[in-house]
Amino acid sequence: MKLKPGNKMIPLRGISFLFSLFLIHNGIVSAQTKDPEEILNNLKAEFNKVKDYEVNVHIKVDVSFLKMPETEAKVYFKQPDKIHIESDKFALLPKEGLNFSPLSFLNEKYTALYEREDTIDGIPASVVKIIPIGNDNDVILTTFWIDQKRNLIMKIESSRKPMGTYQLEFAYKEYSNEYYLPSSMTFTFTIDRTRFPKGMDGQLESEDDSKKSKSLTGKVYLTYSDYKINQNLPDSLFDKGDQKEPEK
C-alpha cells in the first residue's frame, strides 16, 4: 500500500495501546484487586449501606438426630451486630446464618490472605482467608468467597472450637435498586459427636461405638422474604431478648 505525502501509519503497538485504553474507559476490562484488605473493606462498605432491616424467614431443618417442623421467624437486625428473633418455635435457629453480617467475622484483630480465584454458581469469586490474632477467640479459621463485582459474600466456611465447622452459602436479590440482601441461605454444620449425650445423636445406645462416625452433620435452609430496610429500628427492640410469638 502506497501512502500519499503527509500521511503517516500508526505503529501496531500504538493501535494496541489505544484499543486497550478504549476497553478500560468503557468498562470492558475491569481488573479486580488481589489485596485482601481492599477486598474486605469494599465488602464492609457495601454492607454498611444497610443500617437496619426486618425480614421474614422460613426455616427448614434437615438433621438426622433432630425432628423439627418447618418454622417461621421474624428477624430484626441493626448495625453493627444487634439481632432480635421472634418465632413461634425455638429450636435449632442458627444465628450464624440469621445474622449474616460480615462484621461479625471481622470485628477482632485478624490476618487476611488472598488465596485464589474460584467460581460459585457461575459467578467469579475471590477466596480470602481470615486468621484471628489472639488466643481468646474461638474462631480458628474463616474462608470467604467474595463476588468483587457486587461486593457480596457468596460462601463462608468457618472452623470454631469446640463447636466444629460450618458452611454458609448465599443467594441474593437486589432491593430498591440499591441493596443486595440474601434471598436464601444454606447452613451446613459438622460437630463432634461427643458433645451429645448418648441417645441424642440419632444412634442406638447399644450400637458399637467403633461403628459410629466421629462427627454429625446437618443442614438448615433459610428463605428470606418481605424485607423492610433502613426503618430506623429503636435500640429498645434489641434489649428484649429473643421471643416466642403467641400461637394463633
Question: Regarding beta strands 82-87 and 243-244, do their DSSP bridges make them parallel or antiparallel, or are they unpaired?
Answer: parallel
pLDDT of residue 30: 47
pLDDT of residue 200: 46
Q: Is the pTM of this model over 0.95?
A: no
One pLDDT digit (tens) per residue for the chain, 248 residues: 554 555 544 454 544 444 444 434 444 434 678 999 999 999 999 988 999 999 999 999 888 767 778 889 999 999 888 888 888 765 555 555 566 666 677 777 889 999 999 999 999 999 999 988 876 667 788 999 999 999 999 999 988 776 678 899 999 999 988 899 999 999 898 876 665 555 544 543 444 555 555 677 889 899 999 999 999 999 999 887 655 554 44
CA 214 to CA 164: how far, in whole Å? Answer: 12
pLDDT of residue 15: 46
CA 60 to CA 55: how far, in whole Å? Answer: 16
Contact 111, 93 (CB under 8 A): no
pLDDT of residue 204: 39
pLDDT of residue 148: 95
Nearest to 112 by CA among 40, 199, 57, 59: 40
Cα-based angle 150, 78, 191 (whole degrees, multiple of 5): 80
What class, spelled out in words, does domain 33-244 have in CATH?
mainly beta
Q: What is the 3-state secondary structure (H, E, C) of the chain?
A: CCCCCCCCCCCHHHHHHHHHHHHHHCCCCCCCCCCHHHHHHHHHHHHCCCCEEEEEEEEEEEECCECCCCEEEEEEEECCCEEEEEECCCCCCCHHHHCCCCHHHHCCCEEEEEEEEEEECCEEEEEEEEEECCCCCCEEEEEEEEECCCCEEEEEEEEECCCEEEEEEEEEEEECCCEEEEEEEEEEEEEEHHHCCCCCCCCCCCCCHHHCCCEEEEEEEEEEEEEEECCCCCHHHHHCCCEECCCC
